[in-house]
Amino acid sequence: MTVRRVMGIETEYGVLQPGRPQANPMLLSSQVVTTYRALAARADGARGKARWDYDDEDPLQDARGFHLQRAAAHPSLLTDDPTRPAPSGPVPRDPAGAASFQEVARPTHEDYDDPSAANVILTNGARLYVDHAHPEYSSPEVTNPTDAVCWDVAGERIMLAASRELGAVPGAEVALYKNNVDGKGASYGTHENYLVDRAVPFATLVELLTPFLVTRQVFTGSGRVGLGSVGQEPGFQLSQRADYMEAEVGLETTLRRPIVNTRDEPHADRQRWRRLHLIIGDANLFEVATYLKLGTTSLVLFVVEQLDALSAVEGASGASLRAELAALRLHDPVSDVQKVSRDLDLTAPLLLADGRRLTALEVQRVYADVARRAAEHLGTLDDETRAVLDRWDSVLSRLGTDPASCAREVEWVAKLRLLDRLRRRDHLDWDHPRLAAMDLQWSDVRPERSIYHRLLAAGAAERLVDERAVSQAVHHAPEDTRAYFRGEVMARFGDEVSAASWDSVIFDVAGAPSLQRVPMLDPLRGTRAHIGALLEASKDAGALLTGLSGTSR
């Protein structure tokens, strides 16, 4: 059993311009991206302006076995058209949260850069671009949760660098926030991606994963001041995304947001893999929360992938594991997302489909126990898998007995403790604007303004990766996935790259009769072990392509 699989995180950052609340977020986001492009060119010597290759993208292919007609799709789904930026979806029209909605129009009140230009393929293998009027950092592919944390934090440093550079120009200051809500009804995403064996039926993934996703917010939630889509009710809750989940399963990402997203866009060999695209998670600054979010989800996916093998090898024991997970099906999972998020005591019972009632912690305990028993059945554990299992067990146990003991690991616990101290000291109700301001300040990417960074400096938040590793990750890709090839090519031969995507790089070599595409459908090829020596020996892209032609025979 192993926690290792290809995974990654996409984070849309909140953006505003101090003193200009009506500033166009598309323009601000474009400025962030293009500013970092210039910074990267200076820092890395990276050349060229490779475009993003949309040819292999199809956001309308549904994992349930059908393809949504383009004419029937909401514009927010059309993320494969670089000439027309997708709007963010609907926003509640009135603060009472009425059912009527007003569609967000494409920006017309201010000129903004061509969004196809606001796109950078970074030397660390990541993509930085404008998505739904937010600057988005899509991390490179990694193979384990510790690396996921490292390259996720590298994204924070990249956003900070762009913010600093813009702030040096009078009138161009931009504030960036690693959060998920703007307090006015809009939510922007932190999406997780996991490569999963396509042999597992999608319906099985939905059935066995949904209760886990609904309840994992007890340790992955980043905390939020306000209840309801526009914070219309006073209070505090575990998750920033919970109030925006409206469906159990669906293709959309910015309206009718589902617990399990059905976009079937693997960015890999479709015959072997699917990419499970999850949009329910919060943006986390606490590294342990990110680590557990990716690590526990990967473990549950491994168990689901291995259920048939477990049944074959262990007989009744293996079948029992499947039955235990299937028995966790919730009666109303969409409603339970909000119920868990509002359960600060972690004691609210959730109604299961079979009539039993379990708390979110109890549901998580079943998943953790099943994962542990599956590991025992399947044999040797690698160190990282054992570490995730042990941390998962420890956090669940302490949340059930002494939540305050998790304050260095679980983000919502730390945030609630700090806010409660302020409330008691100054006699503030939950709807006081100082609390909302503190919630926002928590996620500011600027260390001198960020409450999270103050906690970090005081040793009140646990680190899993050191800053030297993060600094390295800002400029260099993971060495054990195809991100290594993508990043190194951009660093060495960027002026000879016409376009790139997750699963290909297109070269434009002087003197060549045509563009040359290098496919990368296997995310575990193109690693340093596989291609490093050839890259070192290639003086230009032409030599690299010649060498690749030789190694592919």
Q: pLDDT for 203-227, tens place per residue?
A: 999 999 999 999 999 999 999 999 9
For the chain, the maximum distance between any two Cα atoms, rounded to a whole number of angstroms, is: 73
What average pLDDT does range 409-423 have in this prediction? Answer: 98
- 424 pLDDT above the threshold of 60: yes
Measured CA distances, 393 to 127, 239, 372 (Å): 34, 21, 9
Domain boundaries, the chain: 8-404+462-469, 405-457, 482-551
What average pLDDT does range 467-485 have in this prediction? Answer: 98
State yes or no: is 131 an active-site residue: yes
What is the reported pLDDT for 59?
A: 74
What is the reported pLDDT for 180?
A: 97
What is the reported pLDDT for 46?
A: 59
What is the reported pLDDT for 103?
A: 33
CA atoms within 13 Å, Cβ hemisphere of 292: 32
Rounded to 10 degrees, the C-alpha dihedral 304/305/311/312 comes to 180
Identify the band that residue 63 occupies on the pLDDT scale cut at 50, 70 and 90.
Answer: confident
> Which DSSP string do the residues of 428-474 spell out, in sequence order?
--TT-HHHHHHHHHHTBSSTTT-HHHHHHHTT-S--SS-HHHHHHHH
What average pLDDT does range 371-399 have in this prediction? Answer: 94
What is the reported pLDDT for 440?
A: 96
What is the reported pLDDT for 109?
A: 37
> Which DSSP string do the residues of 333-376 spell out, in sequence order?
HHHHHHHHHT-TTS--EEEBTTS-EEEHHHHHHHHHHHHHHHHH
Higher per-residue pLDDT: 52 or 42: 52
What average pLDDT does range 409-422 have in this prediction? Answer: 98
Which burial class, exposed, middle or buried, applies to 484 when counting CB atoms under 10 A from its CB (0-12, 13-18, 19+)?
buried
Angle in degrees, 0-180, between the axes of helices 307-314 and 360-378, rounded to the nearest 10:
60
Q: Are 518 and 480 within 8 A, CB to CB?
A: no
Residues 130 and 267: their CA atoms lie apart, in Å, by 20
What is the reported pLDDT for 56?
A: 76
What is the reported pLDDT for 319?
A: 74
What average pLDDT does range 59-87 have in this prediction? Answer: 70
Least reliable range by pLDDT among 33-47, 95-109, 115-129, 265-279:
95-109
What is the reported pLDDT for 154?
A: 98
What is the reported pLDDT for 196?
A: 98
Q: What is the mean pLDDT of the chain?
A: 90
Identify the band that residue 516 occupies on the pLDDT scale cut at 50, 70 and 90.
Answer: very high
Identify the band that residue 254 occupies on the pLDDT scale cut at 50, 70 and 90.
Answer: confident
Mapping DSSP onto H, E and C, the string for 186-202 reads CECCEEEEEEEECCCCH
What average pLDDT does range 190-201 have in this prediction? Answer: 97
- Using a pLDDT cut of 70, give the percent of the chain over it: 89
Identify the band that residue 58 occupies on the pLDDT scale cut at 50, 70 and 90.
Answer: confident
Residues 223 and 294: their CA atoms lie apart, in Å, by 18
Least reliable range by pLDDT among 50-64, 122-136, 184-198, 237-251:
50-64
- 102 pLDDT above the threshold of 50: no
Measured CA distances, 53 to 14, 57, 501 (Å): 26, 8, 5
What is the reported pLDDT for 104?
A: 33
What is the reported pLDDT for 60?
A: 75
What is the reported pLDDT for 82?
A: 64
Show the beta-strand stretches assigned E in 77-189.
Answer: 90-92, 101-103, 119-121, 127-131, 134-138, 175-177
Measured CA distances, 32 to 15, 62, 177, 224 (Å): 9, 32, 13, 26
What is the reported pLDDT for 379?
A: 80
Measured CA distances, 532 to 27, 86, 307, 529, 537 (Å): 39, 38, 37, 6, 9
Query: pLDDT tens, 313-323?
Result: 655 666 789 99
- Give how far the C-alpha of residue 37 lies from the chain's centroid of Cα atoms, to the nearest Å: 22
- 334 pLDDT above the threshold of 70: yes
Residues 274 and 316: their CA atoms lie apart, in Å, by 29
Q: Which helix (H) or strand (E) holds 387?
A: helix 383-401
- Global pTM? 0.92
Any idea which residue has 């200009």 for tokens? 20
Number of other CB atoms surrounding residue 46 within 10 Å: 23
Query: pLDDT tens, 131-155?
Result: 988 999 999 999 999 999 999 999 9
- Using a pLDDT cut of 90, give the percent of the chain over it: 77
- Identify the active-site residue in 44, 53, 131, 264: 131
What is the reported pLDDT for 97?
A: 39
- 161 pLDDT above the threshold of 60: yes
What is the reported pLDDT for 111?
A: 40
Nearest CA among 261, 265, 181 for reference residue 225: 181
Phi and psi at 37, nearest 5°, equal: -55, -45
Q: Are 448 and 271 within 8 A, CB to CB?
A: no
Q: Give me the long-range contacts of 486-490 (CB less than 8 A, separation at least 24).
A: 486/121, 486/125, 486/140, 486/520, 486/526, 487/122, 487/123, 487/124, 487/125, 487/140, 488/123, 488/535, 489/535, 489/541, 489/544, 490/46, 490/48, 490/50, 490/121, 490/122, 490/123
